[in-house]
Structure 1
Amino acid sequence: MNIPKSSYIDLGPLKEEVEGNTVICKMLINSFIKDIDSYVNTMTNEIQATDFTGLYHVAHKIIPSLRIFRVEKLEPVMLELEKDLRGLNNLEEIKTKIYFSLKVFSQVKVELQNEIIRIDDAAT
């Protein structure tokens, strides 16, 4: 299957960390996909409810995964979002950053799913 290369994620360091163990790599990718689904659902609900405390906790929780999966285009935005939510600064910017993150996370999820397909294809 011809799957385009990723533009948001870099799994090189993760693959090195798991020493090429594709089972562990797939497990971590699937776990992050579940985290993305949870993030998207929670952020969507919390922004509609204007629950800034809930938004802060969700943004804070996802940052380590962004580092592990090297989502470098999103990590700085999420760090700014976390800071803005902590101080309730720039409410319009908060919404802009949340909507941007939701858009990027949808693409990241597709790229992770494609990576699982690549791993499976390589195993057969």
Structure 2
Amino acid sequence: MHILSVVLQIILGLGFLMFGFMKFGSKQMVEGFNHYGYSSWFRVFTGIVEVVSAILVIAGIWYEALAAWGSVIILITMIGAIMTHIKINDNVKQMGMPIMLFILGLVVFLINYDALI
């Protein structure tokens, strides 16, 4: 199971680093957050949260408790993303990425949960 967790942590970590940094000024993200009805400060805050969660998940390769905490932040963030898509009446296809990231984050959490105990 450790190899599965490491692979998922790398995928999640790199993905959240990319999406987190994009939130600091990507035209696509600026337009997206405007479309969702969120302000610029919330876009930047979300980017910071995503970068922090990515760092925790990647560091969790060596310290499993960090992977568990990082994945909790990812789960909360993805619940917010899914709720945003529901709020603006997006279809399930448009919710695909947040749902997939939620599932991957949940698997990483479940694999590393024992490190919290």
TM range (shorter): 0.3 to 0.5
Higher helix share: 2
Superposition TM-score, scaled by structure 2 size:
0.43
Larger Rg: 1
